[in-house]
Structure 1
Amino acid sequence: MNFELGPLKPDPGMLLLGLAQLFLLMFTLGVLLLPRIERVRAQRWDATEGRTERAEAVRAEAEAVRDAALYEIIEARHEAARIRQEYTERGSAAIAAARAEGVRDRELLLTGSRARITADRTAAAGLLRQDVGDLAVLLAGRVVGEPVHAVAAERRTVERFFAAPLD
């Protein structure tokens, strides 16, 4: 093997030895040293950039959970407002129904009371007329000095008096 390399003219044995050492060094670097370097570089990236990315992911997840909770709170408030409105309407309807029933009961009581008062007034007027007539006949008997019951009953004086219009 005769290589023409110009003025250097290396020894072929030394050239092969140098190449073998070069390949051995490259193999050692590739198998042992470069994986370690890559592992250390990955750990450093994870310690710096990876934490930032994980923190961003956790923050985004927390914001999503917060937004979901806020949405649920808003929905619960809307539901509570709807329920309050519904029960306000029910309460108003119950109050209106109770008021209408109260007005009906009041009207029934007033009608019944007016009829009772009218009947009591008529009965009281009748009793009062009878008592006034009896007292008038008794007083007339005292004024005259003798009983006038028979004459008043025969002539119906008291009934005529009450039947006559007041002028």
Structure 2
Amino acid sequence: MILTQVMAAEDAPNPLIPHVPEIILGFIVVAILYVGIAKFIVPNFEKAYADRTAAIEGGIENAEAKQAEADAKLAQLEEQLSQARHEAARIREEAREQGAAIVAEMRQQAQAESTRIVEHGKAQIEAERQAAVTSLRSEVGSLATGLAGRIVGESLDDDERSSRVVERFLADLEAGVH
């Protein structure tokens, strides 16, 4: 039985070896699929790939342009900031100079006012001294004339004469004091 089975098996087709019509049919189906994929699907993939590549490259270029624009704007703002700092420093220096000039001017005005007040005070003191000297001279003169009149025993009412006597007396007094 085993032998009959082996013999019968030899006449039966081998399942591992495909039939020639199946191989030809398989090649035709694969060729149709290859042509269909190559003609319809691959171009769509290629187009989508090209669109994505263009979009990415455009985005990168756009980003680079925006970055360059931002860098230029930053440089411009830094330059403006630097100019503003220089301007502020110049204004501060100018204000210091003006402040120093104002202080010097105020000192000069205060010194001039002080000198004027001192000179006015000196003039006033001198005027008051002159008034006091004149008053004292006339008072001393009248006292001296009255006293001289008592000593001499005669009246020295003559104004000119009494004035000369008083002047001489005061001159003698001043000469003795010095």
With structure 2 as the length reference, what TM-score do the two structures score? 0.53
Q: Which amino acid in 2 is paired with 1:97?
A: E
1:147–1:78 CA distance, 2 compared to 1 (3 A): farther
Alignment of 1:6-85 (within 5 A): 25-26=34-35, 29-40=38-49, 42-43=51-52, 53=60, 57=64, 58-85=66-93
Whole-angstrom CA distance in 2 between matches of 1:110 and 1:104: 10
Cα displacement string for residues 75-126 of structure 1 (whole angstroms, at most 9, x for unaligned residues): 1010111122223223333333343344344434443443333233112211
Helix, strand or coil at the partner of 1:166? helix
Q: Which has the higher contact order (CA 8 A, sep 6+)?
A: 2
Q: Which amino acid in 2 is paired with 1:39?
A: A
Aligned to 2:13: none
In structure 2, stretches of 5+ residues that fail to align are 1-23
Deviates more, 1:82-91 or 1:70-79: 82-91
Helix, strand or coil at the partner of 2:176? coil
**Conserved in 2, the CA contact under 8 Å of 1:137 and 1:149?**
yes
Aligned to 2:14: none
**Conserved in 2, the CA contact under 8 Å of 1:133 and 1:158?**
yes
Moved segments of 4+, more than 4 Å: 21-28, 44-47, 58-61, 135-138, 146-157
Whole-angstrom CA distance in 2 between matches of 1:73 and 1:148: 101
Across the aligned residues of Structure 1 and Structure 2, the Cα RMSD in angstroms comes to 4.5
Deviates more, 1:38-47 or 1:95-104: 38-47
Whole-angstrom CA distance in 2 between matches of 1:117 and 1:64: 78
Aligned length: 145
Alignment of 1:100-139 (within 5 A): 100-135=108-143
Deviates more, 1:152-161 or 1:60-69: 152-161
Aligned to 1:6: none
Q: Which amino acid in 2 is paired with 1:76?
A: A
Sequence identity percentage = 28
Alignment of 1:93-104 (within 5 A): 93-104=101-112
In structure 1, stretches of 5+ residues that fail to align are 1-13
Alignment counterpart, residue 160 of structure 1, candidates 168, 171, 174: 168
The structure with more radius of gyration: 2
